[in-house]
Structure 1
Amino acid sequence: MAKVQGLPARAAALRMLDAVLRRGETLEMAERAHAKGLTPSDRGLARAIASETLRWLVDLDALIDSATKQNLPHDAKPRMVLRMMLAQVLRLDTPPHAAIATGLELLAGGPRRLAHGVFSALVKRGVSLPAVPTLPEPVARRWGERAAPIAAALAEPPPLDLALGDRRETDRWAKELGGMTLAPGHVRLPRGTAVERLAGFDAGAWWVQDLAASLPGRLLGAGEGRTVLDLCAAPGGKTLQLAAAGWQVTSVDKSLKRLDRLVENLERTGLSAEVVAADALAWKPGRTWDAILLDAPCTATGTCRRHPDVLHRIGPRQIEEMAELQAALLDRAAGWLAPGGTLVYATCSLEPEEGEARAAGVALDPLPVEAGELPAGLAPTPEGWLRTEPSMLGEAGGIDGFFAARWRRS
């Protein structure tokens, strides 16, 4: 197989797609499992093919069905390979002959003639994809009138956001890195930037963190030496953010692998935190904190721009399971909050069950989000909560979907 140039990346992309669509794995999990051993460029290509296939899956299937007398089964290997071939040509500017050479090799011993005929017919017709990806029908129905603007924001992968360790250096780093800034301590760069090669990486001057992901931590303000508990903390963006803001941070997560990454980021940035490996539902710390940030496990549908697999993996069952977990974690977190302390709850989900519905049941004093705490172009909800969607800040490159709410213990 590997004798055909570019084939290892395509073979990895095929396995990744199979893991996502048939087994319900996240794209990140699939990449770790099936892109091992690839060169960095091949790994990047495999990820790009899989991502664009998932982003445009409904539209790619419509093209394939338009060129077949009898629709191929949804999970048939020829359909999967045709999706990849079309995604490469229509989204990644791959020459058709390269897509054919690698695609047909993936079907060795299978219906290569069928795949070749369908692909060639579509290329000869000069087919194209719509300007906006079509959402899977269950997703469009679930999101209702919000679906159209969210879909429009999915047409392109998102830019790269960096969070700075020193907010006072915002203008300097924006200029040095050739980016733009939407808030103090934030720099946005074009997608595709090689992070490890950027100035300031080795010195730990910044870390990768979507602007939306930084907003919950911003709602706690300056630490001034006070204590904060970062629950479900790994891989550590919010821990770094809170430590840089002057908080004494205790970071808790049950994933040892993800905590290793958090520790690596602390070492690179020179920031400090107490790191605890524990399941928050069973942990008994025996103390309280001045502030708590619970960025709870969720379906992550708000990250659909960068993780289009969530469009195909997440449904009512997963949403219900996450909502139950979030409610339990909120109950635990509230019990660890000192008198006068502040609790921020957040999820990177677009589902009301994981955001608004959870916030409505918290028995603490509301501490509404103020417009002045948010980047220009964002505003609190009438309830004093924060809700971002991918369609917001569109001219500046968009933003992930997030929900956050804040309370104080009297």
Structure 2
Amino acid sequence: MTQTGLPARRTAHHLLMEITQDGRLMAELIAGGALARLENDDRARAQRLATDTLRGLDRADRMLKPYLKKAPPPHVMNALRLGVIELCAGEAAHGVVNAYVEIVARNKRTQAMKGLTNAVLRKIAAEGPAGWTKRAIPLTPGWLRQPLVAAWGRDAVTGIEAAHFLGAPLDLTPKADANDVAKAVGGVVLPTGSVRVVNAGQVSALPGFETGDWWVQDAAAALPVKLLGNASGLKVLDLCAAPGGKAMQLAALGAKVTAVDLSERRMARVTENLTRVGLQVRTIVSDAFEFDETGFDAIVLDAPCSATGTIRRHPDLPYAKDGSEFGALMDQQGAMIDHALGLLKPGGRLVFCTCSLLPDEGEVQVEAALSRHPGVTAETPQPAGTDSAWATPEGGLRLRPDYWADQGGMDGFYMAVLRKPA
């Protein structure tokens, strides 16, 4: 980081403003060049600082509340939040306070509040890390927390929030032997066969990256393909394929894979990953509904969804979104299931999955599909390393971030296998 740290801090503040005020996602901002003008160290620092602040935002607000008679403008509030995160991580108070006072002072609309910023952050500095640890685990914003409590209960949601606050370790899917990969990268093999690495650092610097021995994929995201069992020789369609982890799994199992995705940019990344790991997949850029090739033995449909199961890694989501667009996604999911069933050969299997914590994007979708398609049945496979308690009444598997809490958790995911009548 540069000596003053101001460029990184200003960029982190910009990211927070765009996310919390304009509803933009972190990945979208970074892809649009939000970090482009920073030096490498500052780039990493800005992204990490913004991410840590989003992860602990509710706790930061509770620390600030006693020192604020009323909420200041968003420009000031986000500067204070960033300051809380840095001060409670043990950063030197002088540099932190001065930086955020300057950020507030540079804005004509808030420059009169630089004194408030200085006073509040100095009080936070006096509390320091000890004050931070006294506060409860950060709560999920109410628009999402309420349906989660309704679905899973308050105790489960508390566990989910604890997992979100801790963030996510790095999970790898090995192309071949998991034990060899774990030994090379200093990780552990999880019960389902993924390799988990804590404090991994730069992914591309890990042993086996250049030689294509593995790819990054959360352990939960690696399970849907395993529902198919032995896929060798099967003609399989990976619908909505990007970023490509499931296509690579299928190819590594010996399946004849066709990967379809709407985004040309995302499919280019899939092709790049396939080249790195040395696997062959037919890739097609197409709208899922316009793809009409039939006769597949199996289809994996990782449908577009709310992505609420990925908040461990994407803490910006509940602050950038408010759930208003989720209804349209749910309608699309049902239509995609119907379309995919039509592409299967008789007796073929559809693996439907979403990285969502909302039953309307999982259990409810499968129940509705079974009622719309007489003769279609739901199988209940139990891949190695999974818990029988994850099985759901309609025949799927429900994964939550609070599962494997002592091992670092997992993404929230739902998956089910639907078999077309022969």
Show the counterpart of 2:341.
334
Confirm or deny that 1:179 pairs with 2:187: yes
Confirm or deny that 1:137 pairs with 2:142: yes
Cα-to-partner distance string for 1:32-85 (whole Å, 9 max, x where unaligned) = 231123233322211211112111222212222210223224xx2111101111
Cα-to-partner distance string for 1:315-363 (whole Å, 9 max, x where unaligned) = 3422212101111211111110111111000000001111111111122
Show the counterpart of 2:363.
356
- Flag the 1:369–1:191 CA change in 2: closer, same or farther, 3 A: farther
Question: Aligned letter for 1:142?
Answer: P
User: What SS class does the counterpart of residue 155 from structure 1 fall into?
Assistant: helix
Question: Aligned letter for 1:115?
Answer: T
Q: Is the 8 A contact 2:382 2:388 kept in 1?
A: no
Q: Is the 8 A contact 1:163 1:209 kept in 2?
A: yes
Q: Is the 8 A contact 1:236 1:262 kept in 2?
A: yes
Question: Which of 147, 161, 169 is 2:171 aligned to?
Answer: 161
- Flag the 1:32–1:99 CA change in 2: closer, same or farther, 3 A: farther
Show the counterpart of 1:5.
4
C-alpha separation in 2, matches of 1:387 and 1:272: 31
- Flag the 1:68–1:131 CA change in 2: closer, same or farther, 3 A: closer
Identity percentage of aligned residues: 36
Q: Is the 8 A contact 2:378 2:394 kept in 1?
A: no
Show the counterpart of 1:86.
84
Deviation at 1:86, TM superposition (A): 0.8
Question: Which of 278, 290, 299 is 2:297 aligned to?
Answer: 290
Instruction: State the aligned residue count.
Output: 403
- Flag the 1:150–1:63 CA change in 2: closer, same or farther, 3 A: same
Q: Is the 8 A contact 1:158 1:191 kept in 2?
A: no
1:96-115 aligned within 5 A: 96-109=93-106, 110=111, 111-115=113-117
Show the counterpart of 1:36.
36
User: What SS class does the counterpart of residue 94 from structure 1 fall into?
Assistant: coil
C-alpha separation in 2, matches of 1:60 and 1:47: 18
Cα-to-partner distance string for 1:265-313 (whole Å, 9 max, x where unaligned) = 000000011110011123333x321100000011100001111112223
Question: Which of 132, 136, 146 is 1:128 aligned to?
Answer: 132
Deviation at 1:107, TM superposition (A): 2.0
Show the counterpart of 1:54.
54
C-alpha separation in 1, matches of 2:390 and 2:68: 48
C-alpha separation in 2, matches of 1:101 and 1:207: 42
Q: Is the 8 A contact 2:63 2:124 kept in 1?
A: yes
User: What SS class does the counterpart of residue 415 from structure 2 fall into?
Assistant: strand
User: What SS class does the counterpart of residue 276 from structure 1 fall into?
Assistant: strand
- Flag the 1:207–1:8 CA change in 2: closer, same or farther, 3 A: same
Q: Is the 8 A contact 1:378 1:392 kept in 2?
A: no
- What is the TM-score normalised by the length of structure 2? 0.91
C-alpha separation in 2, matches of 1:15 and 1:217: 39
C-alpha separation in 2, matches of 1:318 and 1:352: 16
- What is the TM-score normalised by the length of structure 1? 0.93
Q: Is the 8 A contact 2:302 2:353 kept in 1?
A: yes
User: What SS class does the counterpart of residue 241 from structure 2 fall into?
Assistant: coil
- Flag the 1:184–1:4 CA change in 2: closer, same or farther, 3 A: closer
C-alpha separation in 1, matches of 2:416 and 2:318: 25
Cα-to-partner distance string for 1:380-410 (whole Å, 9 max, x where unaligned) = 2233211001000111111000000111112
C-alpha separation in 2, matches of 1:93 and 1:378: 41
C-alpha separation in 2, matches of 1:185 and 1:259: 26
C-alpha separation in 2, matches of 1:80 and 1:372: 44
User: What SS class does the counterpart of residue 47 from structure 1 fall into?
Assistant: helix
Q: Is the 8 A contact 1:183 1:375 kept in 2?
A: yes
Question: Aligned letter for 1:133?
Answer: P
Show the counterpart of 1:119.
121
Question: Aligned letter for 2:264?
Answer: L
Show the counterpart of 1:45.
45
Across the aligned residues of Structure 1 and Structure 2, the Cα RMSD in angstroms comes to 1.9
Confirm or deny that 1:254 pairs with 2:274: no
Which deviates the most, 44-53 or 77-86?
44-53
The answer for unaligned runs of 5 or more in structure 1 is none
